[in-house]
Structure 1
Amino acid sequence: MSDQPYQGGQPYQGGPYEGYDPYQQQWSGYDQQQYGQQAGYDPQLTQHWQGQTWETQTHASVQMPAQAEAGYPQPQPFEGQYQQQYAAAYPAAPQPHTQPQPQPQPQSEPAPAAAAPEAGPEDEPAYGPATLGGNARITDAQRARLEGRSPIIEPGMQPALLTAVLGLLLAATAPVASFALVVPLVLLQAVTAAGWFRLNGMWPARQGIALAFAGGLAADVAVLAAGRDHVPAAILGPLGVWVLLSLVLQLRSHASPDERMYGLMATVVSAALSILATGYLGADPHAVSVGAAAVAVAVLARALPLPTLVSVVVSLMAAAGAGIAVGGMTGTGAKGAALGAAAGVCALIGHRVASYDYPSRFVHFTAGVALPLSAAAPVVWVLGRALG
């Protein structure tokens, strides 16, 4: 046998040449079969390598047999032991290469999250608190917006009771003395200023609220100093000055032009309502008693669980009846019916305004309480002087 490798185009004759691995047949036979059975592979699918340059990345991995998928232990420890024994027995032979173990693939789609149970209406508060960030729980106003319902949410019976109490205080203190009337009047002006700002979605607006309330106090002082004979000048003077102060306040603001315009309008209207409420202080005491009592009765009747049209009619009739009753006690007579009905109309307008644009609970207990009385103040002053 020649030691030279085969050269030429003749087929090779004779025994194995030098490059032939005598252990290849042994490995491809018995050992391959045994190794494949131990490792969990099919010997028919085992790769036959030709040298040491075989790349595992270019070959597809075989599928796991059924027993491996059923939860049987993986053969990695035995496979490493077998390779060490094979390397010790045949140091010159290349190491057998095994197929890479297929790894279980993670699920590509996550399991759908369980739907959170819907909270029942009885588990939720009626209205959310007035906060900067809003309330995380859905309120009646938010639910109405989502369902496409009317933006009108009426204050209800509790604010109506507070309005009635404040109106009765005005009616009771007016015949006593002007300084006695100032106490419930100042409370009315404070609630009016805060409620109007919150009704317009501006909170906190401490400077605007303080400015509007200060305008009401200035008008009260002016009326008390000038007397009932000079009420128009005592009211219009502070009103003009406070409009100018509101403009100066917004010019000093660093907000955007749109926000400054909203703030200017809210401040002017709030100051105007607070100042016009001083009309109770300048009106005839008997007219104040009739008008305030009519507003109290009208708001209570409007809060009854009746259809809207029926509730409005009942409210106006109740206001006129209260005017007649209180007018009879104060000497106004039948004129009290007209004054009471007019005050009732103004009260319903203020009630409607406080119900608009999904108001919060804070709005209902400020604007909902004060606006019916504040809106009726100019009418009480005018009709009180006209009816004599």
Structure 2
Amino acid sequence: MSDQQYPHQYPQGYPQHPLPPQQSYDAYGSHDHGAYDPYGGRPAPGQVPGGSDGHRVPHGPSASQGVPQDVRRGAASLPPQYPGPGPLPPEPSGPAVGAAATAAATAPAPAAGAPSPAAHRTGDPIIAPGLLPAALTAVLAVLLAAGAQFPRPVTTVAVVLLQAVTAAGWYRLNGMWPARQGIALAFLGGVTADIALLTAGAEHAPAALVGTLGVWTVLVLTLQLRNHSSPDERLYALTAGVASTALAVLAAGHLAAEPDAVTAGALAVAAATLARALPLPGPVSLCAALLAGAGAGIGAGEFTSLGAPGAVLGLAAGVCALIGLRVASYDFPSRFVHMTAGVALPLTAAVPAVYLLGRALA
């Protein structure tokens, strides 16, 4: 076959396609007008790289005439291949390449395993639960206040509901969900404390609560022995499980407190939580919540045996409720967190004030 039929001949092993035009190399900043060879360097204009037959290849705009556009695109997109020793293509130069190299050198390297900047959440992590969780807290508080005036088994219904919401809310507040085994274990610890209190009586309440908490702490440790996660994750799960169990057992203290103190304290928590949820400035909202708690304590004391000292109990219960709200607010917007921890923690945190002041004022 004559050279007129096949003007472009390539050494053996080279892909059989036309060479890309000159413009594909000029985009990288080269000012050499010779043909660009992606396989063995950049030879003199028109010279076939590595060829021994002396054929010359035309260069310039005429080199791509008559070649289909899709073929030229395919040839230009092929990666460089170097079949053997020979001169390597020179590094691209020019203003664009220099700027790109400078930007790549100055860009900070991300740490191994670090999330991308877009994955970081921004904003204030303290977001109050709002009016709807406060209303649910008030409903649960009224149920507890009314049940306290009946025999203790009736009060237990409201306490068990409070313990269930507390156990689930603490796990969700710590970002651990679903954690069915941990939540179930913490809830069962609270129910066991209820049974112990109903069996032993209110006079043995501290021993019943501490004993239940000790046994359930051992059970939480046993549960974590089956956890095959990293040591940090196991420690985090252990602390969350023990804290959730402690809060569920603490909620059982409503059964050990004086019934009138439970009524006054629950109504004070309801009033303080609703007042705190109103759209008021920060200091004004805080003062309004404390005044509402004290006022609810006074009102409850008028209908119970507490009398005027009910204001002290109401004020203390309101302070504890605000602490519980603050803890439940330490999260980004999450309806589930606010509907569990935001509902339960104000009532659970008020147990020490209700129990201690109720016995002191009775």
- TM-score where L is the length of structure 1: 0.65
Residue 61 (structure 1) shift: 5.3
Counterpart position of 2:58: 59
Cα distance in 2 for residues equivalent to 1:255 and 1:166: 37
Determine if contact 1:61/1:100 at 8 Å carries over to the other structure: no
Distance (Å, rounded) in 2 between the aligned partners of 1:236 and 1:359: 35
Looking at structure 2, the residues matched to 57 and 347 of structure 1 have their Cα atoms a distance apart, in angstroms, of 90
Q: Which amino acid aligns with 2:337?
A: V
8 A Cα contact 1:193 1:213, kept in partner: yes
Shift in alpha-carbon separation, 1:61–1:237, aligned structure 2, 3 A:
same
- Cα distance per residue 1:138-194 (max 9 Å; x no partner): 9xxx89x33xx3211111111000000000000011011101101111000000000
Query: Pairwise mapping of residues 324-335 of structure 1 onto structure 2 (< 5 A)?
Result: 324-335=298-309
1:316 CA drift (Å): 0.4
Whether the 8 Å contact between 1:197 and 1:270 is mirrored in structure 2 is yes
Match of 2:315 among 321, 341, 344: 341
Distance 1:340 1:61, change over 3 A: same
User: Once the two structures are superposed, what CA deviation does each residue of 1:74-121 show, in whole Å capped at 9, x if it has no partner?
Assistant: xxxxxxxxxxxxxxxxxxxxxxxxx95154465999xxxxxxxxxxxx
Provide the TM-score with structure 2 as the length reference.
0.70
1:314 aligns with 2:288: yes
Identity across the alignment (%): 59
Please state how far the C-alpha of 1:230 moved relative to its aligned partner: 1.1
Match of 1:101 among 43, 66, 88: 66
Q: CA RMSD in A?
A: 2.4
One-letter code aligned to 1:310: V
Paired residues in the alignment total 269
For residue 275 of structure 1, the aligned residue among 245, 249, 253 is 249
Q: 2: distance between equivalents of 1:192 and 1:55?
A: 87
**Which residue of 179, 202, 225 maps to 2:153?**
179
User: Which residue among 221, 236, 240 is the counterpart of 1:266?
Assistant: 240
Contact map agreement 1:152 1:356 (CA 8 A) in 2: yes
In the alignment, is the contact (CA less than 8 A) between 1:62 and 1:102 conserved in 2? no
**What's the counterpart of residue 177 of structure 2?**
203
Q: Which residue, 309, 324, 339 being the options, matches 1:365? A: 339
Contact 1:156 1:303 in 2 (8 A): yes
What are the superposed Cα offsets for residues 282-328 of structure 1, whole Å, 9 maximum, x if unpaired? 11000000000000010000100111221111000000000000111
* Whole-angstrom CA distance in 1 between matches of 2:350 and 2:241: 20
2:324 paired residue among 344, 350, 362: 350
Tell me which structure has the larger Cα radius of gyration.
Answer: 1
| Correspondent of 2:188 among 214, 217, 229 | 214
Q: Residue type matched to 2:257 in 1?
A: A
**2:153 matches 1:188:** no
Classify the secondary structure of the residue corresponding to 2:125.
coil
Q: In structure 2, do the counterparts of structure 1 residues 56 and 187 end up closer, same or farther at CA, with 3 Å as the change threshold?
A: farther
Runs of 4+, deviation exceeding 3 Å: 53-57, 61-64, 102-109
1:101/1:341 CA distance change after superposition, 3 Å:
same
Matching residue's letter, 1:345: V
Q: Deviations over 1:196-232 (max 9, x none)?
A: 0011011111111011000000000000001111111
Report the counterpart of residue 31 of structure 2 in structure 1.
none
Is 1:381 aligned with 2:355? yes
For residue 331 of structure 1, report the CA deviation from its aligned partner: 2.4
Q: Which structure 1 residue ranges, 5 or more long, are not aligned? A: 1-52, 65-98, 110-137
Matches within 5 A, 1:71-150: 101-104=66-69, 145-146=121-122, 149-150=123-124
- Compute the displacement of 1:252 (Å): 2.3
Q: Distance in 1 between matches of 2:61 and 2:340?
A: 77
Q: Which residue of 2 aligns with 1:166?
A: 140
Gaps (5+ residues) in structure 2?
1-51, 78-117
Match of 2:85 in 1: none
User: Quick check: 1:294 aligned with 2:259?
Assistant: no
